[in-house]
Amino acid sequence: MKKFDKLVAVFLAVYLIISLGLLVLFQGIDKRENSEYKVEINRIYFGLVKGSSFTEPDLSSYEFIKSVSFLPEYLSKSNENLDKFYKSNNGMEYEIKPWYDGDKLLGFLRFDYINSKVDNSFLLKVEIILLMFVVSMISILLYIRNSIIKPFNILSEMPYELSKGNFKGDMKESKDRYFGKFIWGINLLRENLDYHKIKELKLQKEKKLLLISISHDIQTPLNTIKLYAKAIAEEVYDTDEKKILAAKQIQEKSLEIENFVRDIIKTTSEEILEIEVVDGEFYLKDLIDKVILTYKEKCNLKMIDFMVEGYNNKLVKGDLDRAFEVISNILENAFKYGDGKEIKISFFEEDYCQLIKIFNTGDVVSQNEFNHIFDSFYRASNSEGKQGNGLGLYICKSIMEKMDGEIFAECEKEGMSFTLVFR
């Protein structure tokens, strides 16, 4: 904000300098032109032949002097002649000089001239136009300052607070056309983060209670196993029947522990993320336009051939934002695990379904790894040294299933492809 205020101050200073400069410039022109007509009068005056009858000089080479008239000395005594001689001629300015021949007064010379000095009204018009321009620019700058920069400085604090985990602060709704939707989005993000934080704490609590409960439940069969194992080791049982009975008890308790472990695995493999999908419809073109707008330039910067084949615009079932999330996850994986040569999106129609195939060149995963690529938290061997949590494709599959669609993967000769099926 301070830098912007300095910009406004500099703009005003430049205006003042220009305004004063114009005044000085026009005054200099005015003085120069005021002296030029006097030079011409003196040239004509000293060029006249004294002692002879007056002859009007040739004025074609003079810029300011338009006429020269002579009033003899003997006629100057008449008031009528004087009034006529001094009368203005067509609004021109004039100057009277006495004409001598030695000490003898011959008469008076009248020089009619046009003084082309700077018109003050022109300078005033220039100053007014300049002032109007400056006022307009200052108004625009102040509008930008108060309506855009100042609100943005206030908004810039919210992401910082969110990054620290402070989700309780609220931002007042604004009808400002620049930030109204942004504020709404920030508030929605804050509420969403707050909701997931509460949910995460709840899940952690449930997880802790589950572990405590399972630990307690496992402890009982585990103690039984330890007891029977100790009895067998110390040869407490003197008959084979008792030993067989103890072995059966160990086996039963082992099965109980195995069931507990299976329950843990089942619980952790169930819904990990709560993904909300809007049950609606959208046009295929809207989805592809959004993909191209987001990733075309990114591919150009990475020197990747990004090709989108032709398609027929169709109304498909699903959530536009979630569908874009699916394609985005696949493309981000292509950037991360592909060889950076080519990404191609092609389209097919089959059994009243719209198929979108996304192919990228690169090394394929092994058959064993391929069978698990849609599992949660699974990362193949080609992910070593690369950031990720193994949830991307799991989320893609969950979203497509919730939109009544499907997703398939295929290892091709030169890379990997993923096919999305929309109803």
What is the SS3 string spanning 77-101?
Answer: CCHHHHHHHHCCCCCCEEEEEEEEE
> Which residue among 239, 270, 301 closes a domain?
270
Do 218 and 251 belong together in one domain?
A: yes
Tell me how far CA of residue 248 lies from CA of 241, 242, 244, in angstroms: 11, 10, 6
d(CA 293, CA 204): 39
What confidence score (pLDDT) does residue 33 get?
52
What confidence score (pLDDT) does residue 397 get?
92
Position 388, amino acid:
G
Q: Is residue 275 part of a domain?
A: no
Q: Is residue 136 part of a domain?
A: no
Count Cβ neighbours within 10 Å for each residue of 317-351 and write b for 16 or more, e otherwise: bbbbebbbbbbbbbbebbeebbeeebbbbbbeeee
Q: Is residue 250 part of a domain?
A: yes
CB 423 within 8 A of CB 353: yes
Q: Is residue 317 part of a domain?
A: yes
> Which residue among 113, 129, 144 closes a domain?
113
Do 266 and 287 belong together in one domain?
A: no
Q: How many domains, in total, are found in the chain?
A: 3
Backbone angles phi, psi at 68, to 5 degrees: -130, 125
Tell me how far CA of residue 170 lies from CA of 150, 184, 187, 264, 324, in angstroms: 18, 10, 7, 39, 29
Which residue do the tokens 């003084």 mark? Answer: 115
Do 89 and 182 belong together in one domain?
A: no
Do 101 and 177 belong together in one domain?
A: no
Do 179 and 265 belong together in one domain?
A: yes
Q: Which two tokens stand for residue 159?
A: 């992401």
Which residue ranges in the chain fall short of pLDDT 50? Answer: 118
Tell me how far CA of residue 236 lies from CA of 44, 141, 226, 241, in angstroms: 150, 95, 14, 12
Question: 96-99 long-range contacts, Cβ below 8 Å, gap at least 24?
Answer: 97/41, 97/45, 99/45, 99/48, 99/50, 99/54, 99/70
Q: Is residue 133 part of a domain?
A: no
Please, where are the H alpha helices in 48-179?
Answer: 79-86, 120-144, 150-155, 157-163
Do 244 and 370 belong together in one domain?
A: no
Do 368 and 266 belong together in one domain?
A: no
Residue-number span of the structural domain to which 312 is assigned: 281-422
Do 266 and 290 belong together in one domain?
A: no
Q: Is residue 87 part of a domain?
A: yes
Do 218 and 329 belong together in one domain?
A: no
Do 105 and 178 belong together in one domain?
A: no
Q: Which two tokens stand for residue 190?
A: 């804050």
Do 234 and 361 belong together in one domain?
A: no
Q: Is residue 125 part of a domain?
A: no
125 Cα distance to chain centroid: 40
Judged by DSSP in three states, 350 sits in: strand
d(CA 227, CA 207): 30
What confidence score (pLDDT) does residue 307 get?
95
What confidence score (pLDDT) does residue 27 get?
63
Do 266 and 297 belong together in one domain?
A: no
Q: Which of 291, 375, 304 shows the shortest CA–CA distance to 339?
A: 304
Position 361, amino acid:
T
Q: Which of 216, 329, 319, 233 shows the shortest CA–CA distance to 277?
A: 319
Judged by DSSP in three states, 344 sits in: strand
* pTM (2 d.p.): 0.48
Q: Is residue 130 part of a domain?
A: no
> Which residue among 249, 270, 291 closes a domain?
270
CB 115 within 8 A of CB 37: yes
